[in-house]
Structure 1
Amino acid sequence: MWSISKVLNSSVVLARDESGVETVLLGKGIGFGRKAGQPVDTMEVDQIFVNRSAEVSTLVDLLDDIPGWYLELAHEIVASARGRLPHDLDDHIYLTLTDHLHFMVQRLRDGLIVHNRLLWEMKTFYPLEHALGVEALARLRNLVSDVDIPEDESANIAFHLVNASRGGADFNAIKAVQLIKSMSDIVRYSLPDLSSADDLHWGRFVTHLQFFTERYLSHRLLDSEDDFLFTQMSRRYPQAVEVAEKIERHLSSVDGVDLPDEEVAYLALHIQRLSGNNTGASTG
C-alpha cells in the first residue's frame, strides 16, 4: 500500500510505500481529485516506474515542467515494446523517453529539424526496435497536430529502446550502430561478391555482430586460453580470418581495444559462413 506524496497529474502520482521509499505510480485517474496523504490501492496502479531515489527526483522535476501525457505515451510505447522485444527494458527508459518525446516536439515547434544520419542503419540492424519507433510516431502524431514530425524521428525513439534493452542507461545505441556499420563495411569491401544484404546468411551475420557489439561495449569479450578454434580457422579459412583481423585492427585504431583470439575466431567463423561455405558450426 502506498500513500500519495504529491499529485503530478490526473494519471501520475508520487507515492511513498510503508517503508518510506518513494516511487512514481501511473494509473488511469489515479491522481484525479486526490491529495497528499491519501492512500493508493494496488488495483489503481498500472505501472510502478522507478524506485531508485535519484531517478524518482529527476522524473518528478521533469513532470513539473512538461504535460503528464508525455509520460503516459512513454508508458504505452514501453508496454508495446515489452510484449515484442526479446530483451526486457530497463526502467530508466521512462525517464529518458519521456524527456526525449517532449524535447522532440518542442524542437520541431521551434523549426529545428535534425536529420538522423543513421536511419538506414537502424532499420537494417535493429528492425524490430525501428518498427516500434514508427508505431510510436503514429501515437505521437495523434496527440500533436500542430507540428510535422519527420520519419527520421522513428530512429531516435528506436535508439532509446535499444539502449534500454541492451544495457540500460550505460549502453550507447549510437555507438553500437556505428560499430556494426563499420564492421559490415569492412566485410563488404573485403568480400565484394557477397549476395544481397537481405538474405538469410547476412541476417545471421548481423545478429552475430549485435551480440558481439553488446559484449564489446560492456567489456565482456570472450577470452578463452584455448586457441583451438582460432588455430583451426587460420588453417582452414585464412581469408575469413584475414577479414576478421581487419575488423580487429580497425577497432584497435578507433578504441585502442585488442580483440582476444576467441572473438576473432568467431568473427571469422561467421564471415566464412557468410561467404557461402557453411562450416557446420554455430554460435550465439
Structure 2
Amino acid sequence: MKIKKILNNNAVVVSDNNEEKIAIGAGIAFQKRKNDIVNPGKIEKLFVMKENEKFQQLLQQIPEEHFSISEEIISYAEDCLGLKLNEHIHIGLTDHLSFAIERATEGIHLKNKLFDEIKILYKKEFDIGMWAIRHIEKKTLVKMPVDEAAYIALHIHTSKPQSDDMKQTLRQTAIIGEMIQTIKESITVKLEEDDLSYQRLMTHLRFTLSRLSNENQPIMDEEMLTMLKNKFSISYKIAQKVAKLLSKNYGIHLPEQELGYITIHIERIRNR
C-alpha cells in the first residue's frame, strides 16, 4: 500500500488494490513521502471517501489537532454505538468541530434551540456529545458550551446507517418541539425533562412522525378509541390541538388511531 498524497501527519491518500483510499492513524505520515509504503500497523481507519477532494481541502484549512480530536470522537461514538458511521461524518463533524472550537476560543457561544428535544430523542448520541465536549476541553483547554453536545449528537445520529439526513432530522426535531410546546400550553402540570412520562411522550411523537412518512400506521380498534375520547376527553382535545398544528403548519394529517395513543401519553402526564 503506497502513499499517493500526504494530507497531514495523521492522514494520507493511499493506493490499495488500484483503488484510492484514505488511511488514518496517529503519526501515519511521520517522516514519510509520496510513494513510500504505509506501515499497516499504523492504520487505524481505512475507507473510500466519495468526497475525497472536499476532505483534502478541509484538512488543509483546519488545525491538525482539530482533525485528530474529531477522529477520536468518531472512534468513541462508533465504539459506544457498536456500528460504523457514514464516511461523511469525517467531513461534517470535523468541519463543525473546528469552527466550534474557534468560536469558543473567542467566547462566542451559539444557543441550540432544539437542545431539550435532542437531549431526549437522541439520548445515546447526546451522551457521546457530552463526552466529546469534555474531551475537547481536555485536549485544547477551551471551555465548550453544553449546547455543543447537542450539535455533535445530531452529526452522529444523522451519520448512522438508515438515518435521515441533517435537514430532515432538524425538521422532524423542530416539529416535535412545536408539538410539545402545544401540549405544555394546554395542561396545568409542569413538564419536567427528566420525567419518564415526558420522555415517553416525546419518543412516541418521534416515532409517530416516522410512521407517517413510512405510511405504517398503528392499529387501535374503534371501541378503545371511543372509550379514550369519553374517559380522557381533556387529553383527547389536547391531542386534537396537536393534530391541527401539524395539519395547518406542515400539511401532516394524524389519523385518529394516532390521536388515541397521544391521548394516553398526555393523560399519564396530567395524572402523574
The interval holding the TM-score normalised by the smaller chain is 0.7 to 0.9
Partner amino acid for 1:220?
Answer: N
Question: Do residues 40 (structure 1) and 31 (structure 2) align?
Answer: no
3-state SS of paired residue (1:29): coil
Paired AA for residue 54 in structure 2: T
Partner-residue secondary structure (3-state), 2:254: coil
Could you say what the CA RMSD is over the residues aligned between the two structures, in angstroms?
Answer: 3.1
Secondary structure in structure 2 of the residue aligned to 1:24: strand
Aligned residue for 1:7, secondary structure, equals: strand
Q: Is there any run of 5+ residues in structure 2 with no aligned partner, and where?
A: none
The equivalences for 1:52-91 within 5 A come to 52-53=49-50, 55-85=51-81, 89-91=85-87
1:274–1:130 CA distance, 2 compared to 1 (3 A): same
Whether 2:204 is the aligned partner of 1:208: answer yes
Residues in 2 aligned to 1:29 and 1:208: alpha-carbon distance in whole angstroms: 46
Instruction: Determine if contact 2:116/2:193 at 8 Å carries over to the other structure.
Output: no
CA distance in 2, matches of 1:84, 1:100: 21
Give the % identical residues: 28
Cα pair distance change 1:81/1:128, threshold 3 Å: same
Shift in Å at residue 175 of structure 1? Answer: 2.8
Candidates 206, 210, 228, aligned match of 1:237: 228
| Letter of the structure 1 residue corresponding to residue 144 of structure 2 | I
For the residue of structure 1 that corresponds to 2:149, the secondary structure is: helix
CA contact (8 A) 2:3 2:36 kept: yes
Report how many residues are paired.
267
Structure 1 match to 2:180 = 184
Q: Deviations over 1:60-80 (max 9, x none)?
A: 110111123322212211222
TM-score scaled by structure 1? 0.78
Q: Return the alpha-carbon distance in structure 1 between the equivalents of residues 46 and 168 of structure 2.
A: 25
2:241 — aligned with what?
Answer: 246
2:2 counterpart letter in structure 1? S
Conserved 8 A contact 1:221-1:260: no
Partner of 1:153: 148
Which amino acid letter does the alignment assign opposite residue 151 of structure 1? V
- Cα drift, residue 7 of structure 1: 1.0
Deviation at 1:155, TM superposition (A): 2.4
**Paired position in structure 2 for 1:281:** none
- Asked whether the 8 Å contact 1:70–1:101 carries over to 2, the reply is yes
Q: State the TM-score, normalized to the length of structure 2.
A: 0.81
Pairwise CA distance, 1:249: 1.7
